[in-house]
């Protein structure tokens, strides 16, 4: 009997140990399954990524009757989640931001920005979440574009025409008070320093009041193409004068082809200029020859109508000059002797006539 009781106790103990082992196994299996199915644990296995996107803000309202001013053109959308989903959102650009104003009346309102197109597995926030807008009855008008530039950026000796815009005018819309306040649609060109040639730029439009402050209105277009024509300031036709190098200017005769050139440049410089001195080197010219010469660079002169001129050089023979001078001297001497002979003959005749009268 005692053995039977001991046997039962042993069996119960063994069964109890087996039950504990089975229970531990089941609990460990559930824990593993729970860990596998837990989204938080799943995300820890995939690298996360953050990104900020600039998204256009779409305003929903009756644009045939109203205009809306004050709202930003874009909002910032921050997204966070798995790298693959964030990269996909960046490349596809499916996210949209909008504000529904269709139930609102004219006046100033603060509205909430809503997002669409964001993957449900991503965390997203928009900044700003609320925007201030003003709804007003629509008024529109068309105004000319006024293009300006900094005159100091034009190179010395050059002049600029009045810049033009394409298109020449732009339509603006908004509240009547704002429309009435607009004095000009400004477009300012930014020229490189020392600009010497014409150019065209895409220029931003800015509506300004009479005091030069920006007015909040809607523009039919944001930019125009502005063109400015730049050319030499003035022109004048002047003669060329030779400046002999390596020789005596008295011994050379120089003619130019062309004889005159048209000079472009500053009006002050041109008004004081009657001719242009061109250096002619006669070192290699023995009797007669022609050389191609570049016109000199002069401060205030932008350009010439020709880059080079032809100088024809003729040497004047110095012995010929001496011979001519000698001949001239001999002629003068002969003239003098002839005059003296005539004077002597006349004097002799007068003496004979006087003696004849005394004899009578």
CA dihedral 31, 36, 41, 42 (to 10 degrees): 180
CA dist 299 and 175 (Å) reads: 55
Percentage of the chain exceeding pLDDT 70: 78
pLDDT greater at residue 300 or residue 59: 59
Structure tokens at 1: 């009997």
Decide: helix, strand or coil at residue 72.
Answer: coil
pTM of the entire predicted model? 0.48
Q: What is the mean pLDDT of residues 237-248?
A: 90
Q: What is the mean pLDDT of residues 134-158?
A: 91
Q: What is the mean pLDDT of residues 293-306?
A: 87
CA dist 112 and 122 (Å) reads: 20
List pLDDT tens digits, range 131-143.
Answer: 999 998 888 999 9
Structure tokens at 112: 């909430």
**CB-based contacts of 156, cutoff 8 Å, min separation 6:** 266, 300
Q: Which of 43-47, 89-93, 281-285, 347-351 has the lowest mean pLDDT?
A: 347-351
**CB-based contacts of 50, cutoff 8 Å, min separation 6:** 78, 79, 80, 86
Query: Do residues 280 and 251 make contact, with C-beta atoms less than 8 angstroms apart?
Result: no
Nearest Cα to 255, choosing from 285, 291, 307, 308?
Answer: 291
Domain 234-318 homologous superfamily, CATH: YbbR-like domain (2.170.120.40)
List pLDDT tens digits, range 184-227.
Answer: 999 999 999 999 889 999 999 999 999 999 998 889 999 999 99
- In this structure, whether the domain defined by 48-137 belongs to CATH 2.170.120.30 is answered with yes
Determine the pLDDT at residue 74. 95
Decide: helix, strand or coil at residue 174.
Answer: strand
Determine the pLDDT at residue 342. 41
Residue 287: phi and psi, rounded to 5, are -125, -60
Confidence band, pLDDT 50/70/90 cuts, at residue 159: confident
Fold topology of 139-232? RNA Polymerase Alpha Subunit; Chain A, domain 2 (2.170.120)
The domain segmentation of the chain, as residue ranges, is 48-137, 139-232, 234-318
Distances in whole angstroms, Cα of residue 16 to Cα of each of 19, 34, 79: 5, 27, 54
Whether 48-137 and 234-318 share one fold: the answer is yes
Residue 285 has pLDDT above 80, yes or no: yes
CA dist 90 and 87 (Å) reads: 5
């Amino acid at each position: 009997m005692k053995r039977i009781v001991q046997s039962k106790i042993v069996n119960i103990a063994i069964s109890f140990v087996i039950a504990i082992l089975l229970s531990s196994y089941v609990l460990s299996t559930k824990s593993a399954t729970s860990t596998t199915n837990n989204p938080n644990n799943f995300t820890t296995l995939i690298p996360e990524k953050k990104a900020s996107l600039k998204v256009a803000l779409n305003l929903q309202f009756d644009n045939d009757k109203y205009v809306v001013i004050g709202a930003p053109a874009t909002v910032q959308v921050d997204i966070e989640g798995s790298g693959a989903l964030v990269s996909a959102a960046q490349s596809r650009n499916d996210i949209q931001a909008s504000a529904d104003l269709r139930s609102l009346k004219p006046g100033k309102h603060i509205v909430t920005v809503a997002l669409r197109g964001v993957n449900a597995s991503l965390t997203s926030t928009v900044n700003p979440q609320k925007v201030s807008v003003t709804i007003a009855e629509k008024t529109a008008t068309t105004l000319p574009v006024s293009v300006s530039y900094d005159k100091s950026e034009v190179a010395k000796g050059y002049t600029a025409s009045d810049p033009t815009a394409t298109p020449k005018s732009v339509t603006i819309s908004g509240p009547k008070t704002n429309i009435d306040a607009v004095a000009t649609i400004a477009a300012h060109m930014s020229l490189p320093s020392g600009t010497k040639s014409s150019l065209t730029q895409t220029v931003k439009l800015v509506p300004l009041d009479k005091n030069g402050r920006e007015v909040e209105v809607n523009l039919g277009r944001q930019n125009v193409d502005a063109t400015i024509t730049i050319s030499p300031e003035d022109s004048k036709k002047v003669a060329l004068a030779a400046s002999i190098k390596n020789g005596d200017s008295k011994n050379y005769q120089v003619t130019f082809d062309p004889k005159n050139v048209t000079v472009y440049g500053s009006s002050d410089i041109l008004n004081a200029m009657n001719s242009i001195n061109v250096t002619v080197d006669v070192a290699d010219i023995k009797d007669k020859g022609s050389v191609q010469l570049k016109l000199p660079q002069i401060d205030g002169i932008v350009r010439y109508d020709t880059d080079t001129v032809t100088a024809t050089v003729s040497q004047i023979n110095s012995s010929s000059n001496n011979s001519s001078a000698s001949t001239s001297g001999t002629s003068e001497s002969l003239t003098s002797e002839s005059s003296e002979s005539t004077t002597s003959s006349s004097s002799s005749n007068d003496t004979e006539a006087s003696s004849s009268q005394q004899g009578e």
